Structure 1
Amino acid sequence: MNAGKLRHRATIQQLVSTDDGAGGSIETWQDIVTVWAAIEPLRGNERYTAQQVQSTLSHKVTIRYREGIKPQMRLTYKGRVFEVESVIDVEERHQWLELLCSEVVQ
């Protein structure tokens, strides 16, 4: 990977549960870090769910290596949301992470 391809500013978020003061909890997405990323579409498909067509796009997002990135996280970029499906440490060298993500388009 060439660092020059990291031209998108994406924010990595994590789902956080907080006490709502009434005995329950509220789940919200919290920003963890903003990184430079390369976002590449891989494929798309459509499915019929609840009487509407829902499109899902798959993307490969490459970022510099960073500890703690997990599949339960998501990325946001210009109002788009990418759910992290898997995290790959490229060649196990701790230089680059490839995040395989899905973006649901409604």
Structure 2
Amino acid sequence: MRAGLMDRRISIEHYTSVPDEYGNEVPTWAEMANVWASVQQETGREFIQASAITPERRVVFRIRWMDGITTAHRIIYDSRQHDIHEVRELGRREGIELHTTATGA
């Protein structure tokens, strides 16, 4: 993978729980890695959901190989959360292609 194409920083997060001041487990997201990535915007589409038009923003992130990334993780890029829908291996563990959908506003 060409390093020059990976010019954006993304944060990969995993779901975990941490103890609060009373010892109770509180579910939260924690950063797993902060890596360089190339970002490719896919064409947006709109669909009707519960009588409202909802825009969907699909983004593909390409990063160097990292073991253990699944659809249970999420990406934070440009202050926006991206849910991972598909993880594809590039080459022979040269890189990973993460197909995501941005959530929130």
The 8 Å contact of residues 74 and 82 in structure 1, kept in 2 or not, is answered as yes
Q: Which residue does the alignment assign to 1:37? A: 37
The 8 Å contact of residues 56 and 105 in structure 1, kept in 2 or not, is answered as no
Q: Which residue does the alignment assign to 1:16? A: 16
Structure-2 separation of matches of 1:27 and 1:16: 6
Q: Give the RMSD, CA atoms, in angstroms.
A: 2.0
Q: Residue 43 of structure 1 aligns to which amino acid in structure 2? A: T
Structure-2 separation of matches of 1:8 and 1:52: 33
Q: Which residue does the alignment assign to 2:72? A: 72
Q: Residue 40 of structure 1 aligns to which amino acid in structure 2? A: Q
Percentage of matched positions with identical amino acids? 25
- What does 1:1-106 align with in structure 2 at a 5 Å threshold? 1-18=1-18, 25-91=25-91, 93-106=92-105
TM-score, reference length from structure 2 = 0.84
- Structure 1 stretches (4+) deviating beyond 4 angstroms? 18-23
Q: Residue 98 of structure 1 aligns to which amino acid in structure 2? A: E
Structure-1 separation of matches of 2:39 and 2:9: 10
Say which SS state the counterpart of residue 4 (structure 2) adopts: helix
TM-score, reference length from structure 1 = 0.84
Structure-2 separation of matches of 1:17 and 1:55: 31
Structure 2: any 5+ residue segments left out of the alignment?
none
